[in-house]
Amino acid sequence: MIWADREAKKLKERNLPLEWADDMKTPSGRIHVGSLRGVIVHDLIYKALKEIGVNTKFSYVFNDMDPMDGMPTYLNKDKWQKYMGVPLYKIPSPELGFKSYAQYFAQEFIKVFNSLNCYPQIIWSSELHRTGKMNEVIKLILDKADIVRNIYKKVVKKERSSNWFPYNPICEKCGKISTTNVYRWDGKYVYYRCEPRMVEWATGCGHQGKIEPINENGKLVWKLDWPAHWKVIGITIESSGKDHMSAGGSYDMGVHFCREILGTEPPDALGGYEWFTIGGKKMSSSKGIGSSAKEVSQILPPDVFRFLLVRTPIKTHLDFDPNGDTIPNLFDDYDRCMNAYFLKKENKLSKDKAGEVTSDYARIIELSEVNPLPKKRLYLPRFRTVANLLKTKNNNLKAFFETQKKDQLTVEEKEILKERIIFAKIYLEKYSQEKIDSVKTEKFAPSELQSKFIVQLINQLDTLKNKKDKEQIQQAIFDNIRKTDINPKEAFTAIYQSLTRKAFGPKIGDLIVNLGFEKALSLLRTNNPDKITSETKKQYIYPDFKDKKIFSIDNVVAQKYPSINIGIAVIKNINIKKTDSGLTDEINKFVSEQSHLSNEIISSYPEVIAYRKLYKEMGVDWHSRRPSPEALLRRISQKKDLYQINTCVDAYNLIVMKNRVSVGAFNYDKFQFPTLMRFPNVGEEILLLGDKEPTKFEPLELAYFDQLGGYNIDFNYRDAQRTAVTENTKDILLNIDGVFDITREKVEQSLKESIEIITKYCGGTIGLAGIVSATQK
């Protein structure tokens, strides 16, 4: 079941006579595509509720009483500067034919969401004010201004003086709303001053006056304006982006105002929704660079665009980067879901577990409907093929797909083909890999792992030369992917880049046979020339560490995880303190630079993905045990304080957070050497730091051991008490944990930085330092 149906089912249980879903936006400029997320979220909940027989309405409020508070880059500053601080509905439209500035930008946005089959009732906030509908609630709030101030104090610890009132009249002299400050309310009039320097971006005229806070004379400040709208309209469901959903944020405050002043229940916010960004960027409407809703809506057919939004669960960050393969992949996903929809129509959806996903796919298509969905199965000409054929200047696409279909295309199918040709041309013109390659002529620079993979592949292909068996070639590729521990996507990119200079292509077996073996091999060699010799010549910072009396990797482990690289160092005579102000400053600086950090971003780091992959293979659920870099970064993203242990541990933890590579330090003098990385024996236990009871190792849980037992668990999850570094520790053993995409280079970099920061804050001398690789002889 998809999220909208689940939420609707839950809402139905509260049995309200009317559910009213609403979303809002201040039309301060071209509206960013990210705002479509809210529209779709509410449209889905509205449609899901209606389907299960709940009386439901759906509206969209444009907050056009809000002031212009930023200068869009596409407007002439000299001409528009004078409107800064003026309510948007009173500013003229940049183009003829619209009532106001607000209407001009709002209408553009309405057109886009209408094209996605969203038709909420449009409500203009200025209209609600003008017709007096807000009067009562504004008076109520002004009468209870002391409670408002108390809520500010209680919830966000903000002191408001007794002459502060949450209302901004429009200055009768200069027409600005953002510069007026109300200092008195006598039950009929508010008394205000138009302050020259209340905000940086607009200048008040100094006028003093009194005015009735009714109709379009002014509006409440945002934090009260929002709940006032909920009450006046009768909104029962209003979700919003997570910026409003934090503790002490607009929604949280709104809840207090509803319950303590307005006597209403706040709307269900569905827990808030995650961002919709384009190429990782979230931009405000007033900046208006690039990704407006209108611009993005022009690169995809409406049903595919709606599908993109519908299929993403409410709590999942949707990032759409139209460059490269994204658009053909999206069409493929769409076609796959269409197939599920057709199966449903044909009553062929199986009821087993796999079928559940298929029925979700079908449901996503139903909810993505823009134009009436087909009644029966259609043949869908694949978008990727359309684009490829257009590239080869093939003009008879209809004939091509009719051959593929082994039948004539129906009228509907021809329409789909026509539409896909239009959007494939846009794709080829703007976003295809060739387009990107032609823009940036950078050469393909394979990573260490990619070249390692290619070198192995070349050797194996050499032995297949005379057989020319496509299946064997494919098999060789997969064998080498496994052997190298490379991510399959990276591996294929490396091959395609070497053979065709593109990031994708046909099946590699076909490609190699068609190119001819000699040609393919020489392309693979010449496109990776320096890398190929680099295997032997490569200059590393640290030598191979070969002293097995100190540390080694067990053979079973090395065979199972050939990508493991462990950085080892011994630092002696260090002086550990509780804290160091310089170190604290460094840590605070790092934390303050991470304000954008979210769990989604953390989950996208290749290092985090690598550790999670290992955890999965060890049979450990990484939701319950987080690899150490992830655990630390999550504390930052959740605004929790970092633990302060001591100057040694805190120092290397900073490197862990910066590089996302895990580092462990242990009390050297507590070890009974040699130490090694191995799988646990049956019944082995470890007493972890902070625990009273020992934890049993599971057989696949890779860890570090000395002759007395394990000294950490799950590669880098937690450490043992026995060897913990304290303020009394003099000598330490450092481990840096590399696996999969955490290459030797990354391990070396973290080893270097860890040694530097520890010796910076704790002194000491380096005894040994080097790298132990699983593949070392």
C-beta closer to Zn ion: residue 33 or 171: 171
Q: Which residue is listed with tokens 């449901």?
A: 363
C-beta closer to Zn ion: residue 206 or 280: 206
- Enumerate the H helices of 73-100 as residue ranges: 77-80
| CA-based nearest residue to 494, from 451, 535, 442, 534 | 451
In degrees, to the nearest 5, what angle opens at C-alpha 773 toward C-alphas 767 and 776?
105
C-beta closer to Zn ion: residue 68 or 386: 68
Q: State the Cα torsion 754-756-757-762 to the nearest 10°.
A: 110
Cross-strand bridge partners of residue 712: 719
C-beta closer to Zn ion: residue 207 or 382: 207
C-beta closer to Zn ion: residue 210 or 294: 210
Query: CB of residue 195 vs Zn ion: minimum separation in angstroms?
Result: 9
Cross-strand bridge partners of residue 709: 706
Element containing residue 121 per DSSP (H, E): strand 121-124
C-beta closer to Zn ion: residue 205 or 421: 205
Query: CB of residue 101 vs Zn ion: minimum separation in angstroms?
Result: 19
DSSP letter, residue 571: E
Query: CB of residue 210 vs Zn ion: minimum separation in angstroms?
Result: 14
| CA-based nearest residue to 747, from 610, 576, 548 | 610
Query: CB of residue 338 vs Zn ion: minimum separation in angstroms?
Result: 58
Element containing residue 696 per DSSP (H, E): strand 695-696
Query: CB of residue 205 vs Zn ion: minimum separation in angstroms?
Result: 3
CA separation for the pair 700, 557 (Å, rounded): 10
C-beta closer to Zn ion: residue 192 or 320: 192
C-beta closer to Zn ion: residue 67 or 381: 67
Query: CB of residue 175 vs Zn ion: minimum separation in angstroms?
Result: 7
| CA-based nearest residue to 219, from 176, 276, 281, 177 | 177
Query: CB of residue 180 vs Zn ion: minimum separation in angstroms?
Result: 7
C-beta closer to Zn ion: residue 194 or 550: 194
C-beta closer to Zn ion: residue 205 or 436: 205
CA separation for the pair 267, 20 (Å, rounded): 9
C-beta closer to Zn ion: residue 207 or 287: 207
Residue 289 near residue 278, CB atoms below 8 Å: no
Percent of the chain that is helix, strand, coil (3-state, to 5):
45, 15, 40
CA separation for the pair 513, 508 (Å, rounded): 8
Query: CB of residue 85 vs Zn ion: minimum separation in angstroms?
Result: 9
Query: CB of residue 203 vs Zn ion: minimum separation in angstroms?
Result: 9
Query: CB of residue 181 vs Zn ion: minimum separation in angstroms?
Result: 11
DSSP 154-180: HHH-----TT--SEEEPPTTT--SSSE
Query: CB of residue 138 vs Zn ion: minimum separation in angstroms?
Result: 20
Residue 657 near residue 589, CB atoms below 8 Å: no
Contacts with Zn ion, residue ranges (CB under 5 A)? 171, 173-174, 194, 205, 207
Q: State the Cα torsion 64-67-71-72 to the nearest 10°.
A: -10
CA separation for the pair 56, 75 (Å, rounded): 40
- 3-state SS assignment for residue 65: coil
CA separation for the pair 641, 157 (Å, rounded): 20
Query: CB of residue 178 vs Zn ion: minimum separation in angstroms?
Result: 10
The greatest distance separating any two alpha carbons of the chain, rounded to the nearest whole angstrom, comes to 96
| Distance linking the first and last C-alpha atoms of the chain | 52
C-beta closer to Zn ion: residue 198 or 245: 198
